Amino acid sequence: MRRSRALTRRQFLNRSAGVVGSMAAAQSAWAAVRKVGANDRISVAVIGAGGRGTSGLLDALRAPDVACVALCDVADFRMDAACKQVDDLLTQQNRKGGKIERFGDYRKLLDRKDVDAVIIATPDHWHYRPFMAALEAGKHIYQEKPMSFTLEQGLEMVVAAKKHPEVVVQIGTQRRSGKQYPKAKAYIDEGHLGKIVMVRCYDTRNWSVGGDPFVKKGLPEQQVDWKLFEEPCREKHPYDSYRYFAWRWYWDYAGGLVTDVGVHVMDVVHWLTGNSNVKSATCNGGVYLFDHWETPDVVEAVWDYGTHMVAFVSEFGNARTGSGLTIYGTKQTLEVRGNDVFVWSEDQPDKPVLQIPAEDGNHHSNWLDCIRTGKTPNAPVELGHSSLLPSHLANLAYTTGRRVTWDAANRKAT
């Protein structure tokens, strides 16, 4: 089943206008950032205590001298599950945990003076408000990917973050902390690949048998503050458990596969090629498998970078290709399969001339270390925006059915 591209360009760009408006009500007064010493405890809170928020919290708590003091979510059962997992982890570590206060309103959480840092892991349409408010409240921020719900919000978030350089912002494109990628980057920069002319990247999975894992049926509306969940949306909808659990695939809350999984591979593409200057985007696809999706479950985006072309394909009906990317040079080809790196020579196609095994780093630990030291994190806000920009352009191309160009000088899509 293919959805009609009913959105106009103006509707697409402004579909979250309610988020941008009335920011005075969403921001607290400016507060100074507490200086965290090398041996001081960092008190962390989570805004959006679902799977990603809880996973990130547990990663943070594995670092020394880190404690969780507060959670915020539209559903109590999310916070129940998060608290249990925190208790289980602390028990394994023979640590004692303090009281974790719960909130439905993130502004009240940010009012707590003892909160040093926040992990924002809400659905995408709720990224902007708590991010901007956390900056004003003087809290360090780990912002889950994709950084912004819309291109315009991303631009505003970058500008706002630059006004608060004392706040350490890490964007959740965690491959930036992978230790294999700097080695691959150094190899490319030495000129071994020759001239890069094309990049192909992909993320494919098979949900055709087991179904969409984000879909859960039968959750009573009483367990979710649905009005709050939809507060940033221009158009409101009756409560629907499909929409609540599978929000990634609805335009009112997210951008689908191109932003949700595409940003990871595009971030690595920009890093390895050294070129993030996207010129234009086209995008095609449709809803062919999952009737409840609005965003495409099969999609192909193509970008022109002036010196080379990048193509991204994602579909969730066949997992044969997996996740990764291929950089085609005139001398050699570099492949990232999963997170392992292989290099193939044009004159020796049967055996890789170089292999770099995956070596993951802890993205949250990097963020916490930068809070203590004042260093720049692996995925600062500028990178978070530039890595996501192609995905925003591709979604605009998909919803309008035309080629979209990026005017970098005026920061406008046309």
pLDDT at 16 over 50: no
Cβ–Cβ < 8 Å for 336, 151: no
Q: What is the pLDDT of residues 171-208, one digit of tens each?
A: 999 999 999 999 999 999 999 999 999 999 999 999 99
Cβ–Cβ under 8 Å, residues 214 and 246:
yes
Rounded mean pLDDT of 309-337? Answer: 97
329 in Cβ contact with 196 (< 8 Å): yes
DSSP H or E stretch at residue 142: strand 140-143
Q: Check whether 164 has a pLDDT greater than 90.
A: yes
Mean pLDDT of the chain: 92
**What count of residues does the chain have?**
414
pLDDT of 11 reads 54
Residue-level pLDDT at 183: 97
Contact between residue 315 and residue 330 where contact means Cβ atoms under 8 Å apart: no
Q: Which of 91, 102, 154, 163 is nearest to 128 (CA)?
A: 154
pLDDT exceeds cutoff 70 at 19: no
357 and 340 Cβ atoms separated by less than 8 Å: yes
Query: What value does the mean pLDDT take over residues 344-372?
Result: 94
d(CA 213, CA 211): 6
Strand order in the sheet with 412-413: 354-356, 340-345, 332-337, 323-329, 196-204, 309-315, 298-304, 280-286, 404-407, 412-413
Has residue 12 got a pLDDT over 60? no
pLDDT value of position 393: 98
- State the Cα–Cα distance between residues 318 and 209, nearest whole angstrom: 10
What radius of gyration, in Å, describes the C-alpha atoms of the chain?
21
Q: What are the φ/ψ torsions at residue 69 (nearest 5 degrees)?
A: -115, -15
pLDDT of 18 reads 44
First to last CA, the chain: 29
* Lowest-pLDDT choice from 65-74, 189-198, 251-260, 348-357: 348-357
Are the beta carbons of 398 and 5 closer than 8 angstroms? yes
- Provide the whole-model pTM: 0.92
Q: Render 287-334 in DSSP notation, one character per residue.
A: --S-TT-SS-SEEEEEEE-SS-EEEEEEESB--SS-EEEEEEESSEEE
Least confident of 19-33, 154-168, 213-227: 19-33
- Residue pLDDT, tens place only, 111-150: 999 999 999 999 999 999 999 999 999 999 999 999 999 9
Could you tell me which of 68, 79, 73, 72 has the C-alpha nearest to residue 44? 68
Q: How confident is the model at residue 28 (pLDDT cuts 50, 70, 90)?
A: very low
- Single out the residue of 164, 117, 104, 110 nearest to residue 143, CA to CA: 117
The span from the CA of 92 to the CA of 147, in Å, is 33
Q: SS3 for 281?
A: strand
**Are the C-beta atoms of 335 and 354 separated by less than 8 Å?**
no
Higher pLDDT, 252 or 218: 252
Residue 14 reports pLDDT greater than 60 = no
**Helix (H) or strand (E) run with residue 202 in it:** strand 196-204
pLDDT in tens, 211-247: 999 988 789 999 999 999 999 999 999 999 999 999 9
Which pLDDT band holds residue 10 (cuts at 50, 70, 90)?
Answer: low
pLDDT tops 60 at residue 2: no
The domains of the chain, with CATH numbers, are 16-175+363-378 (3.40.50.720), 177-360+394-413 (3.30.360.10)
Gap between the Cα atoms of 162 and 88, Å rounded = 38
| 284 phi and psi angles, rounded to 5 deg | -135, 165
Concatenating the DSSP letter of every residue in 336-372 gives EETTEEEEEETTBTTS-SEEE------HHHHHHHHHH
